[in-house]
Each structure stands twice: as structure tokens, then as C-alpha cells.
Amino acid sequence: MSRALHTTALAADIAAGLARVETLFDTQLAGEFPAVNELCRHVERYRGKMLRPTMVIVSGLAFTPEGSALRHEHDIVAATVEMIHMATLVHDDVLDDATVRRRGETVNFLRGNETAVMLGDYLISNAFHLCSRAGDPALNLRLGEVTNTLCEGELVQLSRRHDLALDENTYFEIVRRKTAVLVGASCELGARLAGAGSGDVAAMRGFGERLGVAFQIQDDLLDLLGDEATVGKSIGRDLEKGKLTLPMILHIARTHGAERRAALDAIEAKDGASLRALLARSGSIDGARARALAIVEEAKAILPEARRAGSRELLLELADRVVARES
């Protein structure tokens, strides 16, 4: 096949995989109570980039021999990681008092925090139930590890809110846990289920974790700089909730005297406009952007060779998109 045909066939396989994942996601959540189903349909509207299931599917295809199909376990893992992600969105919106998500109203805004807490629990529970349907205890164990790590990241972040002494190392430790491990596990499990060797599986995990970190830095930048209409969700939440993000941390570390003090004051006063001006002037916004780009380059450098033609190129392209996105 020509390069173009390879790419077309790969794109078709990915699209088919994601369609199966959507169906699996929706049928897993379809229950006997209209009140519950209505809430789940609301969450299904949050479906956006599907970054994590895409990573499972593409990583799976990358190590599947040409002409062979993905395993049903790929679909299960892809739907499971998306469901875990949706659960964290629903609970994050409670934590952030967010009102807008993917251009729609959040569950907490529409139905109250109580329903949002319980709906998030229902999604977590269904994620584990769905994963158990694969009948492979190693998958459950790995995803349980991932969600433990994810919650630890969130809890450490909560414990450090309004802490102006938060340093870069701790920031990266929090981000690795709360965002990167789930993306890393998506790549890792996609490859592992396709029969990739242990070196390739580890490299895919490393690739995904780096993408996850870069993704979070881009999220921080959008929260600081974006406008709600473009980003499609509540922004300015980090400042509102006392979360120090990378541009702020870089500014605090690289400036002194009045310049540093002014930023600390703007953070405490939750004054986004002043803070943005200060961080831009000190080069901290560009600095954070450069860090995200460098991490993406690191990810691309460790990406292993793939079996399926076109898949490696696609993963490289997906890596670039993580930091190029505006929403």
C-alpha cells in the first residue's frame, strides 16, 4: 500500500474503534432508572477529544500486525479510561465550582453538588465494573493503581492550595499523578494488549506520561489565558481555587523584589489581568509553553518503532496536538 492508503486504512480502523468504544461506554451506563440515565446522557455530552481512548486504540493498532484486528479488551480498556476521566471531570467541576463544561452546564451547576458527587461515584464504579468484564485481574490491578495515584495527586494538590511556596518539583509530582499516569496507562495497556514486548510497553507508558504532563501544562495555560467561549469550560479556576500553576511557579522562582511581590499579591487578590501582565513580562508564560514543548519532544524521542505502517507518524502528530490545542 502507498503511504496515503496506509494512512486512510489506519484512520478508518481508529474511527471504527472509537465508535465501538462510544457504544460500549453508553451501554455500560444504560440502566433501569430514567433519572440515572438522564444524568449519564448529560455526561456523554462532555465527550470531546477522547484523548485517552484514542491513545489506547492507536497504541494498540501500532503493535498489532497489519491485517489483524484489535482485541475486545482494547475496547474495554479504552471505554474504562474514558469513564474514569469523565468521573474526574464531574468531581473536578464540584471541586472547582465550575459552571461550564464543553459549552454546556456542569452537573453540579444544573443538579447540585450532591447529585454530581454521586454521579461521579457511579461513573467510577461503572469504570471498574466494565474493566472487570474483561476477566483479566492484571487490568483491574493496574487501573486500580492508576486511580489510587490520580486521587493522591488531587489530595496533595488540595493540601497545597494557597501555598505560595509550592515548587516546581512538587508541581510536576502532582501533575504526573493527577493527569499523566492515566494517559501513560492508556498507551501502555494499548500496546501490552497488542502483544508488544516489555521494553516497548514501558516506552509507550513513558511516551503517554510525558504527553499527559504537557497536556496539563497546556490546560494550565488555557485556564490562565484562554476565554471561556473558545476553551468551552469555566476558566480562571486555578487562581480562584488557589492552585499555583507552572507559569506562576516559574515567575516566583525567577523574579525578585517588587516584581515577585506584585505577582504574589495578584495571586492572593485573584487578580487575573494583573497576573497575566506580570507573568508575560517576566517570560514565565513563554517559559511554561517552552517546557510543555520540550516535554513533547522528549516523548517523541522515546516513542518506539511500531509494527503497523503509519501509526508511529500518527502518534507523533497526536503528541504535537497536545500543546497546539486551544480548547
Name the residues that contact its own copies, by CB under 8 A. 31, 33, 35-36, 39, 87, 91, 94-95, 113-115, 117-122, 124-126, 128-137, 140-141, 144-145, 147-148, 150-152, 154-156, 158-159
Nearest-5° angle of CA 46, CA 52, CA 54?
100
The secondary structure element, H or E, covering residue 64 is: none
Q: Is 101 helix (H, G, I), strand (E, B) or coil?
A: strand
Closest CB to its own copies among residues 131, 288: 131
In the complex, minimum distance from the CB of residue 313 to its own copies, in angstroms, rounded to a whole number: 36
**Rounded Cα gap, residues 270 and 241, in angstroms:** 9
Closest CB to its own copies among residues 83, 266: 83
Sequence-ordered strand ranges (E) for the chain = 100-101, 104-105
In the complex, minimum distance from the CB of residue 93 to its own copies, in angstroms, rounded to a whole number: 11
Closest CB to its own copies among residues 157, 255: 157
The three cell numbers of residue 186 are 492508556
Per DSSP, 304 falls in state P
Residue in the structure block whose three cell numbers are 480548547: 327
C-alpha to C-alpha distances, 288 to 16, 120, 220, nearest whole angstrom: 36, 31, 9
Closest CB to its own copies among residues 57, 116: 116
**Rounded Cα gap, residues 54 and 125, in angstroms:** 22
Closest to 170 measured CA to CA, from 293, 55, 253, 80:
253
Closest CB to its own copies among residues 96, 219: 96
The three cell numbers of residue 226 are 484562554
Closest CB to its own copies among residues 95, 277: 95
Closest CB to its own copies among residues 38, 286: 38
In the complex, minimum distance from the CB of residue 250 to its own copies, in angstroms, rounded to a whole number: 24
Closest to 233 measured CA to CA, from 247, 241, 218, 222:
222
Residue in the structure block whose three cell numbers are 490520580: 150
The three cell numbers of residue 15 are 474511527
In the complex, minimum distance from the CB of residue 290 to its own copies, in angstroms, rounded to a whole number: 29
